[in-house]
Amino acid sequence: MASNQPFSQRLYSLVHFFQDGQYYQQLVKLAGPIAAQQVIVALLNMVGMVMVGQKGDTAIAAVGLAGQVFFLLNLLLFGLGSGSAIFTAQLWGRGDIRQLRKVLGLCLEISLMVSLLFFALSEIFPAQILRIYTLDERVIALGGDYLRTFAWSFLFFTITYIYSIVLRTTGEVRLPMFVSVAALVLNTFLSYGLIFGAAGLPAMGVHGSALAVLISRACESSALLALAYIKRSPIAASLKELLTFDFRFVSAVIGPVAPVALNEFLWSLGTSAYSVVYARMGTGSIAAIGMISTIDNLAFAIINGVSAATSILVGNRIGSGEEKLAFQYAGRGLGVGAAAGLTLGGASLLAAGHILDLFKVSAIVLQDARTILIFFGIFLWVRSMNSIMVVGVLRAGGDTRFCLFLDGMIIWIIGVPSAVMGAFLFHFPVYWVYLLAMSEEITKWILGLPRYFSHRWIHNLARMVSAD
């Protein structure tokens, strides 16, 4: 829109830009099941955290810090999966299923190798890993016991995750939703029984929660693979299709995917560094952050649905050669993300008291969590737009190198140093340190929007590996 246009005309153009019934139908069709799945996952995870929270501050801190290992793995898998999804979304738009399955196979092999590494480290060095985050020996002992059992679920989760993320790029979003929801319902019932000794199950405390996760993840992986192959879905590849690729194909895929994986690795390390800062501030601080993370996961369940749907729509359009429409879809996704962030931020503030009062923690931890939640609600719309910008727009367009800078490096240049100075130089309370960490999000928002408007993020990667 030209800058010399009257305000009324610019406003009309903006309103007209967001008036596209067909786009919103596609968005809801894709984002609805993804968001519903993640909302249910977040709710059930919150229930699990509340159940663990009945055991006190130490239990919450132990499970939260042990979960940091899975958090790092999850983000690395997300980097590999979403990097590969750039290709599979565009290849699906191009109609090249054979090459789509080859990308799936390559991504699965690399992801399983990464998962095996995390599994081995968790089994051999659980206490040493947790000691990075905290010096509280009670937390280390309890968290190490949890981690040794929990780590067995990594391999099952990896298979489920990679197959699901590729399946979604083909427009099939219901199957992963139903399977994951069923698995998490199972996990919730098992957690209750194994933590408290209900329904004839032994009372195992925090260790019971880890065992429940393992059983449910194994069932989830088995069910997804069985149903995908029975339905002969696009991801129902033969072993030959999964394992056959040449050097040219591998280099073409790894080139754009590697920056995404490095991006997620750096970002996950940065986020983990935040956890180290909070944990070194005291068990109460990490417990307060752990409580907020349950609300954060719930809010981002919906935002991640919009982000994933935007990525699919944008990637499909680029793959089919409709670059102008891809740009429009990306812009509408950013607008929807901002609106969702504002709405969810406000809702989080209104529901704060009811949610946080479910945790049996000390009064000071509860007060810190309430203050952090205010900052969370204020900045959620910025974080929402950033998430959609990185995953749904720039990454979907193949602009992985700029994403590496925006998402993987800004956290280390701006966010982590600000949090470290706030905690250990100025000795601020945990809620002010959390606010300083938000400087990362503001910087990403300022740098990301001009990149979108430049159009330089649009790259048709499907042509590089297509069989045509």
Query: pLDDT tens digits for 115-124?
Result: 999 999 999 9
pLDDT at position 221 is 92
Contact assessment for residue 301 and residue 42, using Cβ atoms and an 8 Å cutoff: yes
Question: In the prediction, which pLDDT does 13 show?
Answer: 62
Q: What pLDDT does 21 receive?
A: 74
Most confident of 197-201, 321-325, 348-352: 321-325
**pLDDT score of 353:** 67
Most confident of 68-72, 269-273, 453-457: 453-457
Residue with tokens 């399977």: 179
Question: Is 5 within a domain?
Answer: no
Is 10 part of any domain?
A: no
Amino acid at 320: S
Q: Domain for residue 251, yes or no?
A: yes
78/407: higher pLDDT: 407
> 151: closest CA among 210, 111, 237, 64?
210
- pLDDT at 24 (0 to 100): 85
Q: What are phi and psi for residue 61, nearest 5 degrees?
A: -65, -40
Would residue 131 count as lying in a domain? yes
The pTM assigned to this predicted structure is 0.73
Q: Tell me the average pLDDT across 207-221.
A: 88
Domain extent for 369? 19-465
- Provide the pLDDT for residue 48: 65
Q: What is the pLDDT of residue 435?
A: 95
State the helix-helix crossing angle for 247-280 and 430-437, rounded to 10 degrees: 150
In angstroms, the CA 237 to CA 309 distance is 24
Report the phi/psi class of residue 302: left, alpha or beta, with left for phi > 0 and alpha for psi in -120 to 50. Answer: alpha
pLDDT attached to residue 390:
93
User: Does residue 1 lie within any of the structural domains?
Assistant: no
Query: Does residue 14 surpass a pLDDT of 70?
Result: no
pLDDT of residue 76: 83
- Residue 466 pLDDT: 61
pLDDT for residue 245 is more than 50:
yes
What does the alpha-carbon distance between residue 132 and residue 127 come to, in Å, rounded to a whole number? 9
Provide, rounded to the nearest whole percent, the portion of the chain with pLDDT above 70. 90
Arithmetic mean of pLDDT, 293-315: 85
pLDDT score at 4: 59
Spatial contact of 424 and 279, defined as CB atoms under 8 Å apart: no
Q: Compare 379 and 80 and report the one with higher pLDDT.
A: 379
Q: What is the pLDDT of residue 219?
A: 94
Sign of CA dihedral 279, 381, 304, 270: negative
399 pLDDT more than 50: yes
Grade residue 181 by pLDDT with cuts at 50, 70 and 90. confident
CB atoms within 10 A of CB 429: 17
Whether the pLDDT of residue 45 is over 80: the answer is no
Tell me the residue type at 440.
E
Average pLDDT over residues 161-185: 86
| Mean pLDDT taken over the chain | 85
Q: Is residue 253 part of a domain?
A: yes
- Least reliable range by pLDDT among 148-162, 186-200, 219-233, 401-415: 186-200
What is the Cα–Cα distance from 29 to 194, expressed in whole angstroms?
37
Distance CA(169)–CA(165), nearest Å, equals: 7
pLDDT of res. 230: 92
The string of pLDDT tens digits covering residues 123-147 is 999 888 888 877 788 888 888 888 8
Q: What is the pLDDT of residue 54?
A: 66
Q: What is the pLDDT of residue 57?
A: 67
Residue 194, pLDDT above cutoff 90:
no
Q: Is residue 9 part of a domain?
A: no
Structural domains of the chain, count: 1
Judged by average pLDDT, the poorest of 151-160, 223-232, 418-427, 455-464 is 455-464
The mean per-residue pLDDT over the stretch 304-324 comes to 88
pLDDT value at 84 more than 60:
yes
